[in-house]
Amino acid sequence: MGILERIAEVEREIARTQKNKATEYHLGLLKAKLAKFRQQLLEPVGKAGAKGEGFDVVKTGDARVALIGFPSVGKSTFLSTVTKTESVAASYEFTTLTCIPGVIHHEGARIQLLDLPGIIEGASSGKGRGRQVIAVAKTADLVLMMLDAKKGDQQRVLLERELEAVGIRLNQTRPRIYLKRKSTGGVKVNNTVPLTKVDEKMIATVLHEYKIFNADVIFHDDYNIDEFIDIIQGNRVYLRCLYVYNKIDQLTLTRMNEIAREPHSVVISCELNLNIDYLIEMIWEYLALIRVYLKKPGNAPDLGEEDGLILHSDSTIEQACHAIHRTLAGQFRYAIVWGTSTKFSPQRVGITHVLHHEDVIQITKK
């Protein structure tokens, strides 16, 4: 029996098992087996196959955004609208067959946008180049899920299911569960809050399914068995996602307003160029990037459109030093900062000072 047949068999078993107190251990074991089989499907043991044409795209710029969706939802049109890259757009499905990169220029940052081929149902099993598409999506800093506004939430549910099956968690944070494997001592479970979704027996049962018989486990919040399996697997990717509903010009104002108010959602029309600027602003916000400017002693700061450093939010002076030159942090003495990150402006700070967007920094070396 192949991996796909085993996955289908376990999924059928989960579907026909009633959820109650008596079956929770059995369901936990089935979910652990399903996660193992899916990992084997996506990371087969043995010689790797040839790379798909067009998928070997070098990561460039300050951040990477993956544009995914079902065929013919407007991904290629969007790429051509916001970048200088011309991606073939047509009204029929599967126009894009390879990964096409473009660059969005915003706030002095170069954001790499990847137009991925349309995902079809069953992509997590390798259908329709789904495995290559999902592998590229895992390397992104943000996922743009392009949806057809006329089709409601059907596409969103199917895409989320495909990404969930391959270990991509959208708009979620990594569970605060500590797991350390040991050579002896058995399984010891501790928790800092009351656990209502799992117990020590279920945790040990799932660990035994993974051939882990000695480990320390600490739950820092009330998590379920699926989140614990994610920690055991250790290969889950937690990405922020914007749900982009295209073709809103074909909806009523009432329906468009309902979609726009949903969490993590933006409504646009690529054909009529509606709300594209707002989407770019939301991409910048979700990437959590900041731009800081540099100043040389005795000179005015460089405040041009292409000047400054692009850093992730909560970056410190040390990260800024590394971005300027790899040896600068070792020669750092102090920095003077103008901006909202200081109590008064200018202020002399140390290397651990956290920067804000549009701060100006002057670094003094030893």
pLDDT digits (tens, 9 = 90+) for 38-47: 777 666 555 4
CB neighbourhood size of 281 (10 A): 12
Instruction: Please give the Cα distance from 146 to 243 (Å, whole number).
Output: 6
The candidate with the shortest Cα–Cα distance to 132, out of 124, 142, 140, is 124
Calculated CA dihedral for residues 241, 247, 251, 256, nearest 10 degrees: 30
What average pLDDT does range 141-164 have in this prediction? 88
pLDDT band with cut points at 50, 70 and 90 for residue 352:
very high
Per domain, the residue ranges of the chain are 3-44+175-233, 63-86+97-167+236-287, 289-365
Task: Give me the chain's average pLDDT, please.
Answer: 84
Question: Which amino acid, one-letter code, is at 257?
Answer: N
pLDDT digits (tens, 9 = 90+) for 216-226: 999 999 999 99
Question: Which amino acid, one-letter code, is at 147?
Answer: L
CA angle 264, 268, 272 (to 5 degrees): 175
**The tokens of 214 are what?**
């000695």
Calculated CA dihedral for residues 240, 308, 281, 83, nearest 10 degrees: -90
pTM: 0.80
- The pLDDT value recorded for residue 169 is 92
Instruction: Please give the Cα distance from 137 to 146 (Å, whole number).
Output: 13
What's domain 289-365's architecture? Roll (3.10)
User: SS3 sequence, 306-345?
Assistant: CCCEEEECCCEHHHHHHHHCCCCHHHEEEEEEECCCCCCC
| % residues pLDDT > 90 (the chain) | 43
pLDDT band with cut points at 50, 70 and 90 for residue 254:
very high
Instruction: Please give the Cα distance from 311 to 15 (Å, whole number).
Output: 46
Q: At what angle do helices 24-42 and 200-209 cross, to 10 degrees?
A: 30
Say if strands 100-106 and 109-115 run parallel, antiparallel, or are unpaired.
antiparallel
Instruction: Please give the Cα distance from 178 to 237 (Å, whole number).
Output: 17
Topology alike, domains 63-86+97-167+236-287 and 289-365: no
What average pLDDT does range 77-103 have in this prediction? 68
Instruction: Please give the Cα distance from 6 to 114 (Å, whole number).
Output: 33
Is a pLDDT exceeding 60 seen at residue 283?
yes
For domain 63-86+97-167+236-287, give the CATH number: 3.40.50.300
Q: Which ranges constitute the DSSP H helices of 90-244?
A: 130-137, 154-165, 200-209, 225-233
